[in-house]
Amino acid sequence: MTTPAPEPAGNTHPSHGSDEPTVLLLRLAGPLQSWGVRSSFNRRDTGAEPTKSGVIGLLAAAAGHPREQPLGELADLTLGIRVDQPGTLLRDYHTVSDYRGRPLPQAGVSAKGIQKPTSPAKHTHVTTRFYLQDAVFVAALDGPPGLLTTLDRAVRNPAFPLALGRRSCPPTQPLSLGLRTTDMETALRSEPWQASAHTREQYARRLGRERGLHQPLHAGTIDCAATIEDPRGDDRLQDAPVSFDPHQRAFTSRQVRHAWLAIPTGFDHIDDDQPHGQADDPDHDPFALLGW
Amino acid sequence: MTYLSRIRINPLRKDSRKLLSNPRAVHGAVMGGLPNHKPDDRVLWRMDPDNPHRPHLFVLSPTRPDWTHIIQDCGWPDADGDHAAVRDYTPLLSQLAVGREFAFRLTASPVQNTATPTKATPSQAARLTAHAEDGKRIRGFRMGHRTAAAQLDWFLTRTDRWGFDIPATRSDPTAPGIHTPAPPTAPHPTSPPGPDPNPPYEVRITARHRHSFQKNGHGAHVVFRSATFEGRLRITDTDRFTTSLLTGLGPSRAYGCGLLTLAPLPGQQT
């Protein structure tokens, strides 16, 4: 972590004064991820996609910001998430107790402001935690080019350990895919599919089976779901961070837009003569008999 | 006059989620598109998610509809192409003749009625005891078929009264020179003798769902089961068949069941 990372080959250095749109692409992948949206107490769920507070928190940790420091221009970054591999849900049965044999504290506090022990004594809490297994996301951050260049360097050489939503979920490499000088949707649309080699071959085999072929079908594009921050979007998510200060944690809402993006699969060879994806024409067309 | 409409639904819009999850919301949206609706008119609709990214809503209405509100809230208002295709249904009705064959699709709610349920729910038990005191004959309780076999049986036993029948699957004789080996063991002792009582017909169930939702978000749940049948049919009675097409089949017709649609058979020119 202390040795400076070499400059990435594909990294372009936009001039700070230019108003060319710049996007930082992150590949959020790991054995486990957990992106809490509204959970508290003993049941900790995960959202299906990374939250903005989770991604901004990862960048703040990489840049070495302490939790009490105001977010500043990090809060003004706009985020787009692409789901390359949705992953599966893991439910973790988990117990918590005080290893010194003391009863766990209760929610109420004494006159001195200290948490009282539970009475009757309660030694073990049962908590349920949810994780996403084998999920891969691509996060695109749009903002001032200078800030994104700094963040790109910070992610490659982070000040604090990085995590995918929870400290027990470390990311796999490569985390940063570098900077792109396009707008966010174009960057998400043109970045090749980031799923693992096994998943990609599984997809080709399934596609071949669905088409009735006796061999895998390597399609040129695949449809991926995307959630893009857009003030004119028609959905609202309550996950934009205002402050990570442990005493004043606050969030606000943001408008997003959902989309399907046809992205390149990145296979070595592509069977272009075969149609890919699902046909727009349904199998059963009642209008065919009405003179159309 | 009857009109068939096909409306594109954008599943990524917020209001579309309500339509895709709640048949009552679709019923409201469909009825809202019919300005000259009379209480006796039968409106049928069906949601077809052939491609889950691009679902289509089909509506059969006796008057000419306008779907601007659905397009504004749940479609792609600025996109290319037909947002909602509306077409007169008479060209199809004039083609119907005994013996003609079509590919069909039907989402229906297979049910059976019984006045003596073996395991009565609390509300059914209350009604049964109330009627036992009156001494009057009770109206049967409607209970949904839950297995695919029962749902298919429900469909096949009713095709005659709907004016069509389902041809049995054609199986060609084996090519000369190919020897079919005899079954290695004798037939199972419990299998009935004689020909197969359930020969394969040209129909299959492609989707089965259990729907449960509340009216206006409170009160008792409306629960029904639907099955989507697809296959090939042959018209046996034109009048009955026209009635089936225009008024629908089976119960839960307000909630997306009962619309029978026809299409040309695969490999056949229209």
* Chain segment A40-55, per-residue pLDDT in tens: 788 999 999 999 999 9
Give B248's pLDDT tier (boundaries 50, 70, 90): very high
Count CB-CB contacts under 10 A for residue A39. 15
HEC-encoded secondary structure of A32-49: EECCCCCCECCEECCCCC
Q: Which of B53, B58, B88 sits opposite A260 (nearest CB)?
A: B53
Q: Report how far apart, in Å, the C-alpha atoms of B143 and of each of A59, B153, B250, B253 are.
A: 57, 15, 13, 16
Write out the two tokens for B177.
């020179």
Q: Which of residues 256-275 of A touch B (CB under 8 A)?
A: 257-260
The ipTM of this complex is: 0.74
What is the per-residue pLDDT for B109?
97
Helices A52-63 and A145-156: angle between axes, nearest 10 degrees: 70
Compare CB distances from A287 to B14, B53, B85 and report the shortest one's residue.
Answer: B85
Check residue B1 and give its pLDDT: 85
pLDDT(A276) > 50: no
Is-contact A228 A188, C-beta < 8 A? yes
Q: Is the pLDDT of residue A281 over 50?
A: no
Looking at residue A73, its pLDDT comes to 92
pLDDT reading at A15 higher than 50: no
Average pLDDT over residues A220-231: 92
Average the pLDDT over A160-183 and give the result.
95
Give me the pLDDT at residue B198, please. Answer: 63
* Closest approach of B22 to chain A, Cα-based (Å): 19
A288, pLDDT greater than 90? no
Contacts with B53 from chain A: Cβ below 8 Å: 223, 260, 278
CA distance A128 to chain B (A): 28
Please tell me the distance from the alpha carbon of residue B222 to that of residue B212, in angstroms, as a whole number.
5
* pLDDT exceeds cutoff 80 at B268: no
What is the number of H-type helices and E-type strands within chain B? 7, 11
Highest mean pLDDT pick, A114-118, A133-137, A271-275, B127-131:
A133-137
Q: Where does the pLDDT of residue B188 fall: very low under 50, low under 70, confident under 90, or very high at 90 and above?
A: low
> At residue A92, does pLDDT exceed 90?
yes
Write down the mean pLDDT value for chain B.
Answer: 88
Across the interface, do A282 and B4 touch by the CB < 8 Å criterion? no
User: What's phi and psi for B144, nearest 5 deg?
Assistant: -75, 140
Cis peptide before B200 (omega within 30 of 0): no
Q: Are strands A105-109 and A235-243 parallel, antiparallel or unpaired?
A: unpaired
Q: pLDDT band at residue A277, thresholds of 50, 70 and 90?
A: very low
Cis peptide before A174 (omega within 30 of 0): yes
pLDDT for residue B57:
96
- Please list every residue in chain B whose beta carbon sits closer than 8 Å to the beta carbon of residue A253: none
Average pLDDT over residues A23-29: 97
- Pick from A280, A282, A288: CB nearest B270: A288
* Mean pLDDT along residues B157-170: 91
d(CA A285, CA A218): 29
Q: Identify the band that residue B197 occupies on the pLDDT scale cut at 50, 70 and 90.
A: low
Interface test with B, best of A221, A260, A283, A292 (most B CBs within 10 A): A283
Tokens for B106, please give them. 């039907």
pLDDT at A176: 96
Domains detected in chain B = 3-94 (3.30.70.1200), 101-115+130-168+199-263 (3.30.70.1210)
> Which residue of B lies nearest to A287 if distances are taken between CA atoms?
B263
Please say if the pLDDT value at position A113 is more than 80: yes
DSSP assignment string, B60-99: EESS----HHHHHHHS-TT-SS-SEEEEESHHHHHH--TT
Residues of B in contact with A257 (CB under 8 A): 12
pLDDT tier, A19 (very low <50, low <70, confident <90, very high otherwise): low
Nearest Cα residue to A174 out of A28, A11, A34: A28
DSSP codes joined into one string, A80-113:
EEEEEE--EEEEEEEEEE-TTSPPPEEEEE-TTS
Phi-psi region of A50 (alpha: psi -120 to 50; beta: other; left: phi over 0): beta
Segment A214-233 shows an average pLDDT of 90
B13 touches chain A (CB under 8 A): yes
Element (H, E) at B125: helix B122-134
Query: What per-residue confidence (pLDDT) applies to B81?
Result: 87
DSSP-assigned beta bridge partners for residue A138: A27, A82
> Closest partner residue to B270 among A259, A284, A289, by Cβ?
A289
pLDDT tens string A232-275: 988 899 999 999 998 999 999 999 999 889 999 988 888 866 55
For the segment A170-182, the average pLDDT, to the nearest whole number, is 95
Q: Give me the residue from A282, A285, A290 closest to B92, CB to CB.
A: A290
Q: Among B31, B38, B42, which Cα is nearest to B242's?
A: B42
Q: Do B105 and A284 touch (CB under 8 A)?
A: yes
Instruction: Give the pLDDT of residue A11.
Output: 42
**Cβ <8 Å between A259 and B12:** yes
Q: Which residues pair with residue B261 across a beta bridge?
A: B105
pLDDT digits (tens, 9 = 90+) for B53-108: 889 999 999 999 999 999 999 999 999 988 999 999 998 999 899 999 999 999 99
Confidence class of residue B168 from pLDDT cuts 50, 70 and 90? confident
B22, B30 Cβ separation under 8 angstroms: no
Q: What is the model's pLDDT at position B50?
A: 84
Interchain pair B261, A286: CB under 8 A: yes
**Is pLDDT of B196 > 80?**
no
Q: How large is the average pLDDT for residues A2-12? A: 43
**In the predicted structure, residue A12 carries a pLDDT above the cut 50:** no
Q: How far is A64 from chain B (nearest CA, A)?
A: 37
Half-sphere exposure of A123 (CA within 13 A, CB side): 4
Identify the weakest region by mean pLDDT among A13-17, A33-37, A284-288, B119-123: A13-17
Element (H, E) at B44: strand B44-48
Top mean-pLDDT range of A282-286, A288-292, B202-206, B265-269: B202-206
Q: Is the pLDDT of residue A69 over 50?
A: yes
pLDDT tens-digit profile of B26-61? 999 999 999 988 988 999 999 998 888 889 999 999
**Residue showing tokens 């998430």:** A81
pLDDT recorded at residue A275: 52
Output the pLDDT for position A93.
93
* CA proximity to A26, closest of A154, A198, A133, A159: A154
Strands across the sheet with B56-61, in order?
Answer: B44-48, B56-61, B3-8, B84-88
* Binary contact (B261, A291; C-beta < 8 A): no
